[in-house]
Structure 1
């Protein structure tokens, strides 16, 4: 490891240079760290046996990176609790980045598993990187009410047309590849039943407009926290649905 120090530092420097340029996909895959210095298997052992292992000194750094995610929520989906660290560039393909902090992203188990060790071939294929990408500068997550019994929602990613094409494509690819549409639909279907009792009372007392006003207030409350989330998309869709506000919530 001491003899490979220069290779590890060089790999981190290249990563830090390419991150803001959205060209991490251009980092060449490698089988080991340096010619015959440290193998990918040895780096894997270092990560699992020392870096992420409970009770070791380096585990403090592992935990510190996990705790860096606001409110302990996965930055890849914005909805589930942090459970692990994801290697943005897979350690199997980039062993020199196995313990590089900037390559380690706090993640929920589902996003980590769905992302796997895939390697992007172009800018538009890359998953979003929480340390380098800002995709909250426009609304891109939307939902539509499914008028059925029970009611549910369909989610879609539709970034602003004014965004550069690669940015739009990356948001859509991230949403689809990590199956966030299914995740968000499940989360909203779990929440909708808990809203029925309150909405029934509002409908009986003030009609559909009272229901819409209440949902609009909840929508504005969520917007104060962030611009895109499954809750914001859900409430926006419910507010826009005459069927739902008119009693569809009780279907």
Structure 2
């Protein structure tokens, strides 16, 4: 596996395509050392205290915030700039091209775990850039962690995505699967439970997962009806497929397949759904069609 360094990223952003082979100036090297040190300090803070303990020292050391933000906006994310090569490498770090925030959508951008407007020293740090879908990037906006419990989950630095971090329960009143942090592994009141709740809140994952669970439920009910098999049998078949996928790629069990596991188990655990509510899903329209429009369209 080819490994890229922070120096590679920095040099491409500073020199650009025109001066690709130019040695870095003394001022550039000072900037490089500061930014490299900043990302290492961030990593140390994350492991030993949490992201919320990291303090940006750009102004303290005489660096302008706009200079570091421009490195990202003009040289790293710009499709015509030399740094875009490393932007695309970071995007490709996501397994199965899945967003590393919701673990569901297609990766289309990089999100700053700590917003670059408040933490410019981490604007081009690979440690601070998370492959994500546009939805998660936009919903999160400029959220900043403020305490141990008010931190989102980092896909590289946290171990939560290697366990059953979600649980689901079928809501027979609203006919939907409701998702929440798994209280068996992460009891209410614990920091981990609060962090999962924060992660879901900040990125709007409750509605995202509920909608996907609704679609999956409708799909399974329709398939069972068409094939003339019991719904319970088909849901167990879906779980078997997920288990096969997890044998090929174990991390799938708790990442991009996790919401499916939770959905299937929540439905099987609900006697109300299995005995009667599934009929409501049988009568649902398979596709959403808009009920209004404009003349000529």
TM-score, normalising length from structure 1?
A: 0.86
Using the alignment, how far apart are the partners of 2:179 and 2:44 within structure 1?
A: 35
Which residue in 1 is equivalent to 2:271?
Answer: 242
- Structure of greater relative contact order (alpha carbons < 8 Å, 6+ residues apart): 1
Give the secondary structure class of the aligned counterpart of 1:181.
Answer: helix
With over 3 angstroms needed to count, the CA separation of the structure-2 counterparts of 1:115 and 1:33, relative to structure 1, is farther
What are the ranges of 5 or more consecutive residues in structure 1 without an aligned counterpart? none
Which residue in 2 is equivalent to 1:77?
Answer: 102
Using the alignment, how far apart are the partners of 1:226 and 1:110 within structure 2?
A: 23
Which residue in 2 is equivalent to 1:168?
Answer: 193
Using the alignment, how far apart are the partners of 1:231 and 1:22 within structure 2?
A: 33
Task: Calculate the aligned-residue CA RMSD, in Å.
Answer: 2.4
Q: Does the 8 Å contact 2:155/2:161 carry over to 1?
A: no
**1:25 equivalent in alignment to 2:52:** yes
Matches within 5 A, 1:1-251: 2=28, 3-30=30-57, 32=59, 34-35=61-62, 37=63, 39-147=64-172, 151-161=175-185, 165-201=190-226, 210-223=230-243, 224=246, 225-227=252-254, 229-251=258-280
Give the secondary structure class of the aligned counterpart of 1:125.
Answer: coil
Using the alignment, how far apart are the partners of 2:261 and 2:224 within structure 1?
A: 18
- For residues 109-144 of structure 1, give each alpha carbon's deviation from its aligned partner in whole angstroms, at most 9, with x where no partner exists: 122122222221222211111111011444231222
TM-score, normalising length from structure 2?
A: 0.74
Give the secondary structure class of the aligned counterpart of 1:89.
Answer: coil
Note the C-alpha offset of 1:30. Answer: 4.7
With over 3 angstroms needed to count, the CA separation of the structure-2 counterparts of 1:247 and 1:162, relative to structure 1, is closer
- For residues 127-171 of structure 1, give each alpha carbon's deviation from its aligned partner in whole angstroms, at most 9, with x where no partner exists: 11111101144423122223368x432222234356792222211
Count residues in correspondence. Answer: 243
What are the ranges of 5 or more consecutive residues in structure 2 without an aligned counterpart? 1-26, 247-251, 281-297
Note the C-alpha offset of 1:194. Answer: 2.5
With 169-178 and 231-240 compared, the bigger mean Cα shift is at: 169-178
Detail structure 1 runs of 4+ shifted over 6 Å in the superposition: none
Note the C-alpha offset of 1:54. Answer: 0.9
With over 3 angstroms needed to count, the CA separation of the structure-2 counterparts of 1:136 and 1:4, relative to structure 1, is closer
Using the alignment, how far apart are the partners of 1:74 and 1:11 within structure 2?
A: 26
- For residues 162-183 of structure 1, give each alpha carbon's deviation from its aligned partner in whole angstroms, at most 9, with x where no partner exists: 6792222211211222221111
Give the secondary structure class of the aligned counterpart of 2:153.
Answer: coil
Note the C-alpha offset of 1:51. Answer: 0.9
With 110-119 and 52-61 compared, the bigger mean Cα shift is at: 110-119
Q: Does the 8 Å contact 1:73/1:82 carry over to 2?
A: yes
